[in-house]
Amino acid sequence: MQIDLHGYHPAEIVWSGVLAKIVEQAWEMGERELILIHGHGRNRGITPGFVNTNTGFFGLQIRSALRHDKDLRRWIHHTTLDCSNPGLTSVSLKPNRSPVRSSLDLNLPD
């Protein structure tokens, strides 16, 4: 499953608990992989305030949450976090043998 998060701020997705809802609902649908497209945060002519990364602030916040939020480990294999593409982050979801959902039910901020 791919979800495009361009145009959102970490406060709207990561810090508000929406990321946890996305992960949980993707698992409830029986998905095997979740790909979050966040953009790489470059090419705007602004030098970022962090070094040794090709992803932007939003991507760093998503990756940090997926790595360190122990509540998300109910649904994801955090050791499968793939950060090889600077514009997206993917992670494998734990198997769900009895999916109970057919689509995402999220009220993402406009």
What is the model's pLDDT at position 39? Answer: 82
pLDDT(110) > 90: no
Q: What is the DSSP letter of 70?
A: G
User: What is the number of H-type helices and E-type strands within the chain?
Assistant: 3, 4
* Vertex 83 angle, CA 79 and 85, to 5°: 150
- 31 vs 108, which has greater pLDDT? 31
Hey, is 37 helix, strand or coil?
strand
Span 12-36, pLDDT tens digits: 999 999 999 999 999 999 999 999 9
What is the model's pLDDT at position 109? Answer: 58
What is the model's pLDDT at position 44? Answer: 52
- 9 vs 108, which has greater pLDDT? 9
Q: What CATH architecture is 2-93?
A: 2-Layer Sandwich (3.30)
Mean pLDDT along residues 37-58: 63
pLDDT(53) > 60: no
Task: Give the whole-angstrom CA distance, residue 26 versus residue 58.
Answer: 20
Span 58-99, pLDDT tens digits: 899 999 999 999 999 999 998 999 999 888 999 999 999 999
**pLDDT confidence bin for 43, thresholds 50/70/90:** low
